[in-house]
Amino acid sequence: MTLNAATVASELEAANQVGDPEADELVAELIEKREVDGVNALFRTIGTLKPGQDLSTLPERLAEFLRGATAPPPDWSEADVRAAESFFGRHHGEVSMLQGTVGLIGTYLSPTGAFTLRSTGRLGGVEGPGRRLSQSSRLFIDMGDKDALRDGTLAANVTKVRLVHASVRQLHKKSGQWDYAKWGEPVSQKYTTGAACVFSTQIVQAMRNLGVDVSRSDADGFMCAWHYVGHYLGTPEKWLLPKDADEVERLWNQERDKEWKKTEDGVFMTAQAVEFYKKFFPPGFHDAFVAMVRVALTDKYADMAGLAKNLLDEAGKPLAAGHKIASGLGGGLFGGAAEKTVGVNPYKETLGIASKAFNEVEKYALTHDQDDQPQMHQELDDNR
């Protein structure tokens, strides 16, 4: 039985006190034996996770864990795979970018999430946010890759993230800095489920806010993909997102305002991420990108994130709604003087350019010796 709108409030309260005992036990041992660097090196070589794969070069405890992590969700079917593939076949580029920008900003609106990420140096340190953003974004790109839901590649990458989450829990436990009474468990099942909502139904809402048509069947397919991801993140079945897009949207709309607040950590994380992406944009594009993110999130949540208003997002709103206005304000989204008319999505070009820039983040990581694989931590604030 997965989550539903009737039970989500009580279930999330319970989930806030729960980590991932199996992964936590493994990672506690790896940290104790100071084997994290070796495991991170192995992460670069584990490309797939499927039955029968040779794991003989791994530490036996880790190999045993990975063998046990190969099973798909109990109710997983070929129809679910096809539904997810249909969604990504239409929306892979734009949805990957929106998850890595709008979605990540959404997770920073969770006070617990923003504090957790900032306290582990995920976007901090002298290297800046580049590697951390590329590591986070790797999952979003992988989700839509050909056969990723069939050949074990997505399962492998999600399982690596699962172990990273466990390392964060263990390091906070060791640090003595975590307020369990206030925050619950670090990277709790509640946090994981909330993040899944942000990266799934919140992104569908963002796409529609930007005038992107997402069919009901495609939205269901996207929920199927996140049901699958949640399973490999170690989420118990009772806290997995349902595969029904309408139900996920209902429960998230019901809970979102309980979870999202403006915090100094969240504003800091958002500003650092937006500034990093700026270097990949063509000249003059930054304001259009921020305008797109504001419209995707809506003013209420964009203000929480500390995203500055500019002339372009105010000009773009009626355009996206289908009204006819001139785009001369601010030179149009891209300096064009042409009149925008009904039926023209003013964000189409923005989405395309931002999607291209998002893929450049991955290239940046790989060409600047900034590994784009998830990395575990040996010590809090070690900037791995």
What was the pLDDT predicted at 279?
81
What was the pLDDT predicted at 320?
47
Task: Report whether pLDDT(26) > 60.
Answer: yes
List Cα–Cα distances, 159 to 1, 11, 126, 176, in angstroms: 22, 24, 28, 27
d(CA 202, CA 252): 8
d(CA 294, CA 96): 17
d(CA 108, CA 272): 11
What was the pLDDT predicted at 318?
47
pLDDT average, residue stretch 353-368? 68
pLDDT average, residue stretch 153-168? 88
pLDDT average, residue stretch 167-187? 88
What was the pLDDT predicted at 331?
36
What was the pLDDT predicted at 112?
94
pLDDT digits (tens, 9 = 90+) for 104-135: 999 999 999 999 888 876 434 445 566 667 76
Which is nearest to 349 in space by CA: 312, 309, 307, 299?
Answer: 312
What was the pLDDT predicted at 67?
86
- Alpha-helical (H) ranges within 233-322 are 245-259, 264-278, 286-297, 299-305, 311-320
What was the pLDDT predicted at 333?
43
pLDDT digits (tens, 9 = 90+) for 181-212: 999 999 999 999 999 999 999 999 999 999 89
What was the pLDDT predicted at 199?
97
What was the pLDDT predicted at 310?
77
pTM, two decimal places? 0.86
> Rounded mean pLDDT of the chain?
82
pLDDT digits (tens, 9 = 90+) for 205-237: 999 999 899 999 999 999 999 999 999 999 999
If one compares 218 and 364, the residue with the highest pLDDT of the two is 218
| 152: its two tokens | 């074990």
pLDDT average, residue stretch 270-292? 86
Q: What percent of the chain has pLDDT over 70?
A: 76
List Cα–Cα distances, 191 to 115, 117, 166, 207, 255, in angstroms: 12, 12, 13, 23, 12
- DSSP bridge pairs for 15: none
Task: Report whether pLDDT(76) > 80.
Answer: yes
One-letter identity of residue 377: H
pLDDT digits (tens, 9 = 90+) for 30-41: 777 777 666 566
